[in-house]
Amino acid sequence: MSPRRRSMALVFVVGLAILAASYAATSRTASGSTRIATGTYALDHYECYFVKPLQIFKPRRVTLLDQFGFRTALVTSPAELCNPVVKTLPSGVSTPILRKDAHLLCYNQNPANMAPRQDLVMNQFGEGVVNPVQPSLLCLPSGKSLVLTRPAKIPVRFDHYALYITKTVAGFTAPPTVTLQDQFWKVTVKGLPKEPVMMGNPVLKNNPNGQLVNPKDHLVCDAMPTSGLGFKQREVVVTNQFEKAAKYVAYAPAMLCLPSALQQDTPG
C-alpha cells in the first residue's frame, strides 16, 4: 500500500471511530421513543422545494463520512432548498421552528452503490423500516434571504445531511392532512404518501476527524404534490460553503422531512 493510501486509510479509521463514539454517547443519553414522547428533537421539520439556479454551479468532489460509512462523492448540481417549517396535525398539535436561520440547500450527487441495509426509525408519523438504497443529495447548512440585496449568514453549529433514496418501507402512517407554514407560504396538504422517499443522516464533509453537532437526529422525507397547491415561485439568495450570495428560484414543493430517531441500523 502506498503512503498516501495508508494515510487515507488511517484518517478513515480514526474518523469512523470518533463518529461511532458520538452515536454511542447519544444513544445512551436518550432513546428515540423518549425523544418522540417529550418532543426533544434538536432538529426542525423541513419543507423542501425544487429550485432553479440563476448562475452556473461548478461540480466538485467531496469526502463524506456518516453512519453508513466513508465515501468520495461528486456533487453535480443544485436540487432542492429546504426551509424550517411549522407542522400542524389534524389534532391541532403544532411543532414550532427551533432555528429560523438554519436552511438547507441540497445538491445532487453522482450515483453510487451501497450495501443493502435496513434501518428502524421513529418520528411523529410512527415507526417504520427504511431501506436506503442509493446516495442522492448532499444538503449544506445555508443562509437564505428573500431580500436579494441582503444575503443571510451561514448558520453556525449546524450539520450537513446526506440523503439516501429509499425503496422498501413498512410501518409509517401519514395523517390525512397536515398544515405547513414556512417563510414562503401556509398550505394544507392532503394525502401524503405513507412510504417515505428519502432518509437523511448527519454527515461529516471533507473532515472525517471532525465531530457532528447533533448526531442523534436524522431526517425521513415524504414526497409532496408538485402541483395543485397553488404555490407561487419565489426568488431567494443563498450562501453556504459552496456558494456565496447565489440566486435561486424555488418553483415547486418537493418533500416534507421529519426529524427522526434511528433505533437500529443493520446491513440488510
Least reliable range by pLDDT among 23-32, 116-125, 167-176: 23-32
- Residue 268 binned pLDDT confidence (cut-offs 50, 70, 90): low
Whole-structure pTM value = 0.88
Q: Look up residue 226 and give its three cell numbers.
A: 408538485
- Residue 39 binned pLDDT confidence (cut-offs 50, 70, 90): low
Q: Look up residue 188 and give its three cell numbers.
A: 394544507
What pLDDT is recorded for position 14? 42
- Residue 5 binned pLDDT confidence (cut-offs 50, 70, 90): very low
The 3 state secondary structure assigned to 190-228 is ECCCCCCCEEEEEEEECCCCCCCCCCCEEEEEEECCCCC
Residue 11: in which H helix or E strand, if any? helix 3-29
Q: Look up residue 111 and give its three cell numbers.
A: 450515483
- Residue 227 binned pLDDT confidence (cut-offs 50, 70, 90): confident
Higher pLDDT, 193 or 139: 139
Q: What is the mean pLDDT of residues 231-246?
A: 98
In the block, residue with C-alpha cell 436561520? 101
List residues bridging with 235 in a β-sheet. 249
Q: Where are the domains of the chain?
A: 3-267
Rounded to an integer, what distance in angstroms lies between the CA atom of residue 130 and that of residue 14?
A: 28
Rounded to an integer, what distance in angstroms lies between the CA atom of residue 215 and that of residue 23?
A: 6
